[in-house]
């Protein structure tokens, strides 16, 4: 099996041994691109010891300052969660997620994001994903060790690659990358402020978050992002021609 263009992204891992164990799990399943977002301790002797033969994967791991940097250049992004369901996010089973991720990786780099051991990913971090991955587990004790979670997802990716379900890339242009989407959301927020369209809920803080989440679920490609930004620019231009001052 050829190595798929899939990044394993660990956000703020706190235990260096887990990083080494993740590298070993990745090499077991023919994955090689490991990114670490602000790890607490790395490099570290315990990470090297736990890598156990996967020192090439561990040695090539990239440390980055932000999740946005880790996702640069990626199309499809999936993040792990222990939530069984969520009213705002699309949550899919790990087996289906593996098939989808492998297929998407054939037209643009894809990423699988794992959160810190104790707290998991924040809502803001989850919002960078097109879908959340749920790993079925005992409801009385659903929490998985970080390396175990990576091993299970990596196994499903390897298993999917051995079949025909992900033999070809999806039709159409690649999905918009994280940076393109970030620029779209910033543009959206700017226009909403200019036209004074604000959150009417009691807290008044949820509108942009909900817009981000439904656009993530829509899985916009690069052309669609350009269309939306063109519409937003036209709205701004029309207001300024009508005499409204820019902010």
Give the whole-angstrom CA distance, residue 61 versus residue 69: 14
Least confident of 98-112, 156-170, 189-203, 221-235: 156-170
Which tops the pLDDT comparison, 181 or 168?
Answer: 181
pLDDT > 90 in the chain, percent? 68
Using an 8 Å Cβ cutoff, are 70 and 42 in contact?
no
Give pLDDT tens digits for 214-241.
Answer: 999 999 999 999 999 999 999 999 887 7
CATH 3.40.1280.10 is right for the domain spanning 6-161: yes
pLDDT at 171: 76
Cis peptide before 43 (omega within 30 of 0): yes
Q: What is the pLDDT of residue 75?
A: 94
Helices (H), the chain: 16-28, 45-51, 55-59, 67-70, 94-104, 123-126, 146-161, 178-194, 207-218, 222-241
**Which of 12-26, 61-75, 142-156, 205-219 is predicted least confidently?**
205-219
**What pLDDT does 189 receive?**
93
How far apart CA 154 and CA 183 sit, in angstroms, is 31
Q: What is the CATH architecture assignment of 178-241?
A: Orthogonal Bundle (1.10)
SS3 percent helix, strand, coil of the chain, rounded to 5, is 45, 15, 45
CA–CA distance, 228 with 234 (Å, rounded to integer):
10
Maximum pairwise Cα distance, the chain: 67
Instruction: Give the CA-trace dihedral at 30, 36, 41, 43, to 10 degrees.
Output: 50
In this model, does residue 245 exceed pLDDT 70?
no
What does DSSP say about strands 33-37 and 6-11: parallel, antiparallel, or unpaired? parallel
How far apart, in Å, are the Cα atoms of 128 and each of 36, 172, 177, 199, 214?
A: 16, 21, 10, 21, 12
- Residue 90 pLDDT: 86
Domain positions in the chain:
6-161, 178-241
Supply 214's token pair.
């439904």
């Amino acid at each position: 099996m050829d190595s798929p263009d899939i990044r394993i992204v660990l956000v703020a891992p706190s235990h260096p041994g887990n990083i080494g164990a993740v590298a070993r799990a990745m090499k077991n399943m023919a994955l090689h691109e490991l990114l670490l977002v602000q790890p607490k301790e790395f490099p570290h002797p315990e990470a090297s010891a736990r890598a156990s033969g996967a020192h090439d994967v561990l040695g090539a791991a990239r440390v980055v300052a932000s999740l946005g940097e880790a996702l640069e250049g990626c199309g499809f992004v999936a993040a792990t969660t222990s939530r069984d369901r969520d009213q705002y996010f699309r949550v899919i089973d790990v087996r289906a997620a593996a098939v989808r991720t492998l297929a998407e990786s054939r037209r643009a780099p894809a990423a699988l994001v794992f959160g810190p051991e104790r707290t998991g990913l924040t809502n803001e971090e989850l919002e960078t994903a097109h879908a959340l991955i749920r790993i079925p587990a005992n409801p009385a004790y659903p929490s998985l060790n970080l390396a175990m979670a990576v091993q299970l997802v990596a196994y499903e990716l390897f298993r999917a690659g051995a079949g025909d379900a992900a033999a070809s890339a999806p039709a159409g242009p690649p999905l918009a990358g994280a940076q393109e989407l970030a620029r779209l959301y910033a543009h959206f927020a700017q226009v909403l402020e200019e036209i004074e369209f604000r959150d009417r809920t009691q807290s008044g803080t949820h509108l942009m978050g909900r817009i981000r989440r439904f656009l993530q679920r829509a899985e916009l490609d690069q052309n669609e992002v350009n269309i939306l930004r063109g519409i937003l620019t036209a709205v701004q231009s029309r207001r300024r021609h009508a005499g409204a001052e820019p902010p």
